[in-house]
């Protein structure tokens, strides 16, 4: 029917909507007329009865647009309603504008899962409302140039902005964020971060910058602490970037407030044990590393080290992957051209080495240490199992009849599989009678030759590894000493074997 109308053909039949999905195409056709029909009276009248009907129309239109994920229509209605709040023009605010604020808060509470990008308009109005409350109570802390010359709202409206209805609704916008879906909470956090940064940019140069939204960000994190790790990864991708910006702000009051907020959040996160498959600790500590590298203010850098020291003192038993980021912070601090910062970082590292080093290695928290422990342990084991001590066994130097050896080799084929040297059975299990058997002796010599080849390859591989400065400098001292021990054992065996002419001549005689 709609396609026929677009082609200019009159509809011959009237169709009745029988399913809720039919609402979408009808709303797509009529939404602009609806918007004009309820916006005009809302703007022109002061009758609260008419205003209430218009605001109900806004709420129902936003519900339809949000439910069907109609981005253009949703943005149009939410933006228009937000403008009707007059929060950016307090001197012209009337009672109907206060009702628009209440309607917008009701929309936030009822349609939060589907607001998507429209959350920014809602949360910007919440921020402006808090600013209005400060102005109305005589506590304007905006600090923006010319803010004192702005018209104040009527006393009745200022009191209404602090009413129980509005205050509770604002609190519920944040406290009920834990009921938002996994996708909606990401949209919510993104919008709140954008509003927070706009607040800081507009007032960040004053002595009392506005930090309302970043405070609410921290509260939202507390309310959503029990969300699954996967959702937190998506949330922190936004929050981490925002903290990077705020922690490096030129105003030390802003950066220190953000660092302290981040410390409080980190303390809460560290109350939970980190799951083996998620390395979330290193992610939520990254802003400390970013601040140490990019914020040149010594006071902020000192604040970073204070935060990490407090976390180590209080939550060291729960630290896992977070150790790696902490060491990256200490490494960055050591490169700072400030003696007090470098010395402070060295003191903390000394304490960690003294009190927590075993815990760092045990939990596999510091990936480099864990990796090298596994690599060196494997190399040491291979050295020990491929050293051909069987060459010194006298039974191998006993001569056997060559004729019987060739006959036996022909008549009785080798029935055993030749295993790699480390997996081969020890020579102590072979009896004297077995060693006189040509086939057994041949098998044993083959195994010894394999071990000798593997030993030489190990020595060459170790030599190549230690030629790299990056490898050598990153091997922990105790692991390096273990490697040197087995290399020395291999050298002493080779030296002793080469010096023992009797053994070498005996083995040469038996082939």
Contacts of 229 (CB under 8 A, 6+ apart): 275, 278, 280
Q: How does pLDDT run across 454-486, given as a tens digit for each residue?
A: 888 888 888 888 887 777 777 777 778 888 888
Q: pLDDT confidence of 126, banded at 50, 70, 90?
A: very high
- Report the C-alpha gap between 441 and 405 in whole angstroms: 10
CA 303 to chain centre: 22
- The closest of 178, 198, 197 to 188, measured between CA atoms, is 178
What is the 3 state secondary structure string of 416-456? CCCCCHHHCCCHHHCCHHHHCCHHHHHHHHHHHHHHHHHHH
Contacts of 139 (CB under 8 A, 6+ apart): none
User: Among 5-19, 102-116, 241-255, 311-325, where is mean pLDDT lowest?
Assistant: 5-19
Q: What is the CA angle 303-306-312, rounded to 5?
A: 145
Q: pLDDT confidence of 409, banded at 50, 70, 90?
A: very low
Q: What is the CA angle 207-211-214, rounded to 5?
A: 150
What is the 3 state secondary structure string of 144-207? CCCHHHCCCCCHHHHHHHCCHHHHHHHHHHHHHHHHCCHHHHHHHHHHHHHHHHHHHHHHCCCC
Helices (H), 248-338: 252-269, 280-284, 286-294, 298-315, 322-334
DSSP 468: -
For the chain, percent of residues with pLDDT exceeding 70: 85
Residue 10 has pLDDT above 70, yes or no: no
């Amino acid at each position: 029917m709609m396609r026929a109308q677009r082609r200019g053909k009159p509809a011959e039949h009237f169709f009745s909507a029988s399913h809720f999905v039919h609402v979408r195409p009808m709303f797509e056709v009529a939404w602009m007329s609806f918007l004009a029909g309820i916006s005009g009276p809302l703007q022109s009248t002061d009758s609260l009865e008419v205003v209430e009907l218009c605001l109900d129309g806004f709420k129902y239109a936003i519900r339809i647009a949000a439910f069907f994920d109609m981005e253009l229509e949703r943005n149009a209605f939410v933006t228009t309603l937000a403008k009707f709040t007059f929060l950016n023009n307090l001197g012209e605010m009337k009672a109907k504008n206060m009702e628009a604020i209440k309607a917008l808060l009701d929309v936030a509470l009822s349609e939060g899962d589907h607001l998507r990008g429209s959350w920014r308009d809602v949360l910007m109005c919440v921020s402006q409302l808090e600013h209005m409350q400060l102005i109305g109570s005589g506590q304007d802390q905006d600090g923006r140039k010319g803010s004192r010359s702005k018209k104040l709202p009527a006393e009745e409206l200022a009191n209404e902005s602090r009413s129980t209805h509005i205050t509770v609704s604002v609190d519920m916008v944040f406290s009920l964020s834990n009921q938002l879906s996994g996708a909606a909470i990401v949209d919510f956090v993104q919008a709140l971060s954008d509003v927070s940064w706009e607040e800081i940019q507009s007032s960040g140069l004053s002595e009392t910058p506005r930090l309302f939204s970043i405070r609410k960000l921290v509260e939202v994190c507390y309310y959503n602490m029990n969300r699954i790790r996967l959702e937190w990864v998506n949330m922190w991708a936004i929050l981490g970037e925002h903290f990077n910006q705020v922690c490096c702000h030129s105003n030390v009051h802003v950066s220190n407030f953000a660092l302290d907020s981040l410390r409080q959040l980190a303390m809460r996160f560290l109350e939970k044990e980190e799951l083996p498959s998620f390395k979330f600790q290193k992610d939520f500590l990254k802003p400390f590393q970013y601040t140490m590298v990019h914020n040149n203010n010594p006071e902020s850098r000192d604040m970073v080290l204070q935060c990490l020291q407090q976390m180590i003192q209080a939550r060291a038993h729960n630290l896992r992957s977070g150790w790696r980021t902490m060491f990256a912070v200490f490494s960055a601090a050591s490169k700072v051209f400030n003696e007090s910062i470098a010395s402070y970082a060295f003191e903390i590292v000394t304490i960690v080495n003294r009190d927590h080093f075993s815990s760092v290695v045990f939990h596999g928290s510091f990936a480099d240490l864990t990796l090298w422990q596994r690599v060196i342990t494997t190399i040491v084991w291979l050295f020990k199992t491929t050293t051909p001590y069987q060459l010194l066994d006298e039974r191998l130097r006993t001569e056997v009849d060559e004729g019987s050896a060739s006959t036996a080799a022909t008549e009785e084929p080798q029935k055993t599989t030749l295993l790699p040297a480390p997996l081969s059975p020890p020579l102590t299990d072979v009896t004297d009678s077995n060693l006189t058997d040509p086939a057994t002796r041949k098998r044993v010599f083959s195994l010894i030759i394999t071990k000798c080849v593997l030993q030489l390859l190990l020595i060459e591989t170790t030599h190549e590894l230690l030629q790299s400065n990056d490898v050598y400098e990153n091997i922990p001292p105790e692991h390096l000493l273990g490697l040197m021990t087995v290399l020395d054992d291999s050298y002493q065996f080779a030296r002793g074997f080469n010096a023992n002419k009797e053994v070498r001549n005996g083995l040469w005689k038996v082939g």
